[in-house]
Chains A and B, each alone.
Chain A
Amino acid sequence: MADTMAGSGADGGAAEVGSAIERDLSLERASSRGAYWTGARLFVALSAMAFGAGLFAYFYLHSLDNNTLWRTPGQRPSDFISVTVLVMTLVGAALYWWFTRQMLAGGSNSADWRVATGVASALFFVAALIQFWGMRRTGFFPGSSGYASVYVALMPLFGVYCLGAAYWLETLLARSIRVRWVVSPEGSNLDSPQRVTFAGSAEGAKLFVAFMALVSIVLFVLFSIVS
């Protein structure tokens, strides 16, 4: 593929045009692969900034302790809800991460990957629902303290992110059902645009679920462990 197509365009022979087209396609495939890599990291970075703003609110209000109302004694979200959400997100993230790593390396049963992804997506989805449901049962009024306010602000955001993770994983699963070979392609399919797109997105989701796992741990520690 080393020919630098000097773009003699109009009159080049069919073979020249053909190889120029191949060059274009392979360049654009490489670009597409890279775009997924860049995009996943950008998405994690910007999400980190958003949660970071929440963390800043937590620590800043904690340090100010205005009117000694950073946290009134005994304020704590329900353990049942927090632990359930934490466990679901961690398990979902781990499942997806593990099986995707294998799938991308070329190993593993396609069915295994599909089941893992489906279960992970369902776990994230249910975790989101439980989190939203839990907002109505916190046992404290949102404005009763700084801690309560930050909790009411951050947890729904986390719930929305869980929905996002569920969506992403579901689209990957649906894609793998519609184009069955994309999970374990062979031969020329390895380099096909469908595989490039799919693998790029799957890899990006791997990074994202790792991020989600980290966020869920941090939030759990901040709200349910730190006193």
Chain B
Amino acid sequence: MATDITAGATVRAGGEPADPAATTNGSWWAHPNIAYGVVGAAAGYALGHWFGNWLANGFQQIQGMGQNDYAVVLGYLGGTIGWLAGIGAVTYPLLKLLGYQATAQHETKRSLRSYFGYTLDHKVVGVQYLAAMLVYFFVGGMFALAIRTELLSPTNHLLPPGKYLEVVGEHGTMMMMMMTSAVIGPFGNFFVPLMIGSRKMAYPRLEALSFWITPAAFVVLLSGVLLGGFPTGWTGYAPLSIEATQGQDSYLVAFGLITISMIIGGFNIIATIINYRAPGMTWTRLPLFVWAMLVTAMLMVLAAPVLAMAGYFSILDRTVQTALFDVNHGGSPYLWQNLFWFFGHPEVYILALPGFGIALELLPVFARKPAFAYRTVVAGMVGVGLLSWFVWQHHLFVSGINPDMRPVVMLTTELISIPTGIVFLGAVGTLWRAKLRLTVPMLFVLGGLFNFLIGGVSGVFLSDVPTDTIAHGSFFVMAHFHYTIMGGYMFFFFGAVYYWVPKMLGRRLNTRLGKVHFWTLFVFFNSTFLPLFAVGELGQPRRVFEYAASLQTLNIWVSISAYLIGLSMLVFIFNFLKSTVIDDPTPIETNPWGSRGLEWMTSTPVSANNFDHIPEVVSGPYDYGTGAGPMATIGAPGAAVPVSAAGQPGEVV
């Protein structure tokens, strides 16, 4: 039973079927693909919609429109299932019912088509995630520009108030919901196995599924504008969410889908990091980026179910008329607030921690020094993760909660700045007497740290109840979270793009354009969001289209700066497309940054199995200046390897 997969054939042992996604030969229409996914989505939506109408026989909320919440929700769910079936994600679970356990094949051929399909290669999933996240980010950004255009004047209105709120909600939800996996999706999936010396992920199918849910969620969220949008913003407060029209369902279903994607993705990452580390890759040698991924994934897996339940409760209130959030019938609006923010606060650390991981990972490389205070920094990240469960009520300081709770939550929230500060401790120490190279990735890391400092300190104003009284619900909060999430997280994200794209795609992004992108983004980001602290303190609430005339000058300044951010992003888009798609490929070094990291010891492009053989790790990734040799001993990169010994079938999933 000798096996040979170099020709792309599949292993058969004991009657196992080949995994349909593994073969890349044969015509495109013989295999599940995006086109079938779209067809499946349409069919599923129609079926679900019809079923919903049949269930809710007669519940026409808008006369003659044939739409009721049952139909919309079930239509979306049916569409998502149809989409997943069409791209081939449902086949394997069904085959399992018949007792099949298809073996995971290591592909040796990676074609362009595999990037558009349901694939088991975590590196392909990483690239898919990168492309998708950039699309979601720019779409969300367009909504932001629409908001800023509306806010140019407090009295002349571009958009009717309902439309304005739609735009606000779409922007916020697109960013907070879709971008949650912006780092863990592309870079976590691509690099965690490489960084720990593994040839695969623990659950490749789940990983691919977590990706393919996101386009469905994206479409569901965007289609909300066709249904009149949702008036609640990304926080979805009840009872406004219950009285809203069908657009609210698209928010609820999209968020539900993303929570599933988050849970699945995080689940896979945790199982991989715990179990698939190469020999010698001890916990104290684990790269800080991987630690950040681990803590982030734990938060995702445990917090997202709570949000899923909150969304499910809202859908029930809207469809079967439960009263979970209706104070008149035994429910409470506070229930939504508590459930949402119990997820919501870990959520912001789900955003912040990967950013920290990137910063702490790149600093040693571009400072040529070990990561300072490694164990303390790891403890800091774990501490942030743990403490993040105890602070959610600071979003509820003025809402009328039990006043005894407020000093307690003030304490926990103040305390969380200690582990967050430890990240800066690590950065400061790593920069001490370093050999700093201001490459584009390093610029983004330093800029991100600068921004996050402002964001983090402004958080202290929000954690203190008296000062929160002014700032809550105002543009101060907006400035705070844009500084931490956009100024911090997204800057670190771009740093990661410039740093890792040479390994992911074998192309180097143009350095000069990268520096233009950084400097313009840095300057215009600060000029957009710094004034918003003042705007909030001076009395402009969030999500308003009218504001005091005295604040108009500041608002105009902010809007113009926001357009300039858009221009800066155009520079990036141009650079990215030109370098990765338009220009002819030129061979690049496997390790252009001179990093010690294990991921840089692979070939470029990374071979299908990552490493010929599982490496033996002998030193840490940050041993600069100690005279240590390479991190691990591995086989010659790029060699094809017969995976199975005689008589043994290939890898099981």
Contact = CB atoms under 8 A, between A and B. Distances in A.
A149 B323 contact: yes
Contacts of A32: 202, 275, 652
Contacts of B596: none
Nearest to B197: A27
A105 interface: no
B267 interface: yes
Contacts, number: 226
Given A28-B651, A38-B274, A142 B305 contact: no
Contact of A171 (B99, B198, B643): B99
Contacts of B202: 31-32, 35, 38-39
A173 B99 CA distance: 7
Interface stretch (B455-463, B545-553, B613-621): B613-621
A118 interface: no
A52 to B, nearest CB: 8
A92 interface: no
A220 to B, nearest CB: 20
Interface string B511-542: 00000000000000000000000000000000
Given A20-B613, A21-B645, A39 B305 contact: no
B652 A145 contact: no
Contacts of A142: 316, 320-323
B598 to A, nearest CB: 13
Contact of A35 (B96, B276, B303): B276
B328 interface: yes
A38 B272 CA distance: 9
Contacts of B328: 66-67, 69
A219 interface: no
B649 A7 contact: no
Of the listed residues B302, B303, B312, B335, the one surrounded by the most CB atoms of chain A closer than 10 A to its CB is B335
A170 B98 CA distance: 9
Contact of B272 (A35, A147, A148): A35
Interface residues of B, number: 74
Interface stretch (A81-89, A94-102, A122-130, A150-158): A150-158
| Range of interface residues on A (Cβ < 8 Å) | 35 or more
Given A5-B616, A149-B331, A42 B270 contact: yes
A10 B639 CA distance: 8
A46 B636 contact: no
A4 B643 CA distance: 18
B329 interface: yes
B633 A146 contact: no
A67 B327 CA distance: 7
Contact of B652 (A30, A47, A65, A196): A196
8 contacts: A21-B641, A35-B203, A39-B203, A45-B301, A54-B309, A147-B330, A194-B101, A197-B101
Interface of A: 4-10, 18, 20-25, 27-28, 30-32, 34-35, 37-39, 42-43, 45-47, 49-50, 52-54, 56-57, 60-61, 64-67, 69-71, 141-150, 152-153, 157, 167, 170-171, 173-179, 192-194, 196-198
Given A6-B633, A7-B636, A66-B331, 9 more contacts: A21-B613, A35-B272, A35-B275, A42-B270, A46-B267, A50-B308, A145-B329, A167-B97, A196-B652
